[in-house]
Amino acid sequence: MLQLRLSVPVDLTEDVLAVLDDEPAISTLAVVRGASIEPLGDLVYADVAREDADALVDRLRDLGLAHRGTMHIEPVATWLSKAGLDAEEAAPGSAADAVLWPEVGQRAYADSELNATYLIFMTMATLIAAIAIVLDSQVLVIGAMVLGPEFGPIAALGLALVLRRRTLFGYALRTLLVGFVVAITVTTVLALVVRFAGLVGADAVLAPRPGTAFIYHPDAWSFVVAVLAAVAGVLSLTSGRMGGLAGVFISVTTVPAAGNVALGLAFWLPDEILGSLAQLGVNLTAMMLAGWLTLAIRKKLAERRPVNPFHRDQLKRRRTDQLSRHGPGITGA
């Protein structure tokens, strides 16, 4: 269940209420007249089943509410309501499968912002990956994978392709490329300092590394794992179940590959550089394409949701009966 909190210009209030009152998946609807100062107008509250929220938000946007007012959409953690249960029955599909595209889009823009925090996390993750390679430590490799923030822009690239958002695609691509360039550059410089200080030699990088050799030896399994990880990550982002993202971060070797590129540059090891760049390219390409395909399928499925006319008509009749008994409480002054 989601709650809509709407700040509505006074001349749009009746149109907004008409849209909301016509939606069977809404269990609660209230209006506070004159409570909104900016914009000057009313506050409207509505509880809606997640399955129907995206279509409802589109109808409200068509009224111009997003431009002239404000729409807040928040999940309701706990609720007790017979009307809420009826609304969820009236809404087709399952809440876990429903996608609220404005929510996904907002998260994609936030994750694609190029800022100091993103660059610091990216650099720290790449540095840890480089240390993990020198020590041949799988534990540190996992730590670097979890710390890396690169999945956000990768998922945003797929979303931008599905929604045809050129601006988002540009933001995400810039953040991804600049992040890797900055992280690799800083790690290379520090690796050079360590090299010329005599703390680490090229033999430490060239020595047998059974725990981390996969980082610069891409194969078909690298592509398969990246695809599966991207699918799982996109499903986590679109369903709001963020627990699956940890597994996604641990599954792909983008940041470790960047760390190995930096070491290869510092010690000038062309085989390490080329192998790591190939691994990085395979992972990024596979994840972007898999994310795009998964989002496209989810969007198509959302457009073909089944309708339960019995529950929807039943709920509409119940709401009509309530209005006839209690009067036009929704739109009354």
pTM of the model as a whole: 0.76
Q: What is the CA radius of gyration of the chain?
A: 25
8 A C-beta contact, residue 68 and residue 40:
no
Nearest-angstrom CA–CA distance, 87 and 286: 39
Encoded tokens for 70: 């404000």
Q: Where are the domains of the chain?
A: 2-93+306-326, 103-303
Number of neighbouring beta carbons within 10 Å of residue 328: 11
Each residue's pLDDT, cut to its tens digit, for the chain (333 residues) gives 889 999 999 999 999 998 888 877 888 889 999 999 989 999 999 988 887 888 888 889 998 998 999 999 888 877 777 777 777 766 666 666 677 778 888 888 888 899 999 999 999 999 999 999 888 888 888 888 888 888 889 888 888 888 888 899 999 999 999 999 999 999 999 999 998 888 887 777 777 777 777 777 777 877 888 888 888 878 777 776 655 555 565 667 788 899 999 999 999 989 889 988 998 898 888 888 888 888 888 877 766 555 444 445 545 554 555 445 444 444 443
Q: Enumerate the β-bridge partners of residue 42.
A: 8
Architecture of domain 2-93+306-326: 2-Layer Sandwich (3.30)
